């Protein structure tokens, strides 16, 4: 008994996994990444055409809105897809009262709910893996900016892929994400993308991988949980 998590922690972990079970979180992270990549890649040149300027401003506005209000957007989507199908449970970050459902907030909040030593150990493990993931992502991004070499994006993407692999089970990512990052890095290198644009391509790859992962998870979820029948009035 001493080596297994308590029932309370088990219920908490099931609620945590439930938050990611429909893929909407990854889907929004993917869209945010794609919008950010778009803003970085298509900065209007001077003199800007009205159409390009408008497209860029809209993308930037959407990116800002999605970054700052991510949890609200995910909840809005869940209220229309997940809650009527499989029920509502309080989102993991509600008590932290944060607008964005970022990984650190989710992990740190969860670590405060543990009761026993074993629960604390399991949750601090999740926290450590999240911090390691963020450190690896930042390291990869920094390497891409600082080291101007053709092979840097590949190496950076492998590092990020390792981080994603370590945290895969915590955030219910499919293998698409950890295995996809080295492919993104290889594509940036093989297609000889300009080195100053490598971070933007990396963000685009990030967006595509999370979007694909979120979309496949959502499709699988919707197939497994069809919409409830509304009784005729």
Partner 1 sequence: MTPDLQALATLDRTIHEPARLMIMTVLYAVNEADFLYLQRECGLTQGNLSSHLGKLEAAGYVLIEKMFKGKYPLTVCSLTQKGRAAFAEYLQKIRVVSESPSNGRRTLVKPGPDKAERPGLLRNGN
Which residues bind to partner 1, rule: CB under 8 A? 1, 7-12, 14-15, 18, 75-76, 78-80, 83-84, 86-90, 94-95, 113, 115
Residue (88 or 175) nearer to partner 1, CB: 88
Q: Residue 18 Cβ, how far from partner 1 at the closest point, in Å?
A: 8
Residue with Cβ nearer partner 1 (44 or 84): 84
Cβ of residue 79: shortest distance to partner 1, in angstroms? 4
Considering all CA atoms of the chain, what is the largest pairwise distance in Å, rounded to the nearest integer?
Answer: 69
In whole angstroms, the minimum distance from the beta carbon of 15 to partner 1 comes to 4
CA–CA dist 187, 193 (Å, integer)? 9
Residue 136 CB, shortest distance to partner 1, in Å, is 30
For residue 91, give Cα distances in angstroms to 17, 72, 83, 110: 11, 10, 12, 11
Helix (H, G, I), strand (E, B) or coil at 173: coil
State the minimum distance, in angstroms, from the CB of residue 83 to partner 1: 6
Q: Which of 196, 193, 173 is nearest to 185 (CA)?
A: 193
Of the pair 87, 226, the CB lying nearest partner 1 is at 87
3-state secondary structure of 102: coil
Question: CB-wise, 86 or 120, nearer to partner 1?
Answer: 86
Closer of 91 and 214 to partner 1 (Cβ): 91
Cα torsion 84, 87, 91, 94 to 10°: value is 80
Q: Burial level of 186, CB count in 10 A (0-12/13-18/19+)?
A: middle
Q: Cβ of residue 36: shortest distance to partner 1, in angstroms?
A: 27
Distance from the first to the final alpha carbon of the chain: 51
* Residue 47 preceded by cis peptide, ω within 30: yes
For residue 58, the minimal CB distance to partner 1 (Å) is 25
Nearest to 61 by CA among 35, 29, 40, 26: 35
Tell me whether residue 81 or residue 124 sits nearer to partner 1 (CB atom).
81
Using the minimum distance from each CB to partner 1, give the nearer residue, 78 or 129: 78
């Amino acid at each position: 008994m001493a080596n297994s998590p308590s029932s309370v922690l088990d219920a908490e972990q099931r609620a945590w996994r439930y938050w990611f079970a429909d893929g909407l979180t990854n889907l929004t992270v993917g869209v945010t990444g794609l919008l950010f990549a778009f803003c970085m890649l298509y900065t209007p040149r001077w003199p800007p055409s009205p159409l390009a300027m408008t497209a860029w401003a809209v993308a930037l506005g959407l990116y800002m809105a999605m970054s700052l209000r991510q949890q609200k957007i995910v909840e809005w989507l869940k209220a229309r897809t997940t809650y009527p199908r499989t029920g509502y449970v309080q989102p993991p970050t509600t008590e932290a009262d944060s607008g964005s459902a970022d990984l650190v907030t989710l992990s740190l909040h969860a670590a405060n709910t543990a009761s026993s030593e074993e629960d604390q150990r399991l949750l601090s493990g999740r926290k450590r893996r999240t911090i390691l993931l963020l450190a690896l992502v930042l390291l990869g991004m920094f390497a891409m900016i600082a080291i101007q070499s053709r092979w840097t994006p590949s190496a950076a993407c492998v590092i990020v892929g390792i981080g994603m692999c370590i945290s895969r089970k915590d955030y219910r990512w499919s293998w698409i994400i950890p295995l996809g990052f080295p492919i993104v890095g290889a594509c940036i290198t093989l297609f000889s993308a300009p080195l100053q644009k490598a971070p933007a391509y990396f963000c685009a790859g990030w967006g595509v991988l999370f979007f694909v992962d979120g979309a496949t998870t959502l499709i699988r979820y919707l197939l497994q949980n069809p919409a409830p029948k509304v009784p005729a009035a």
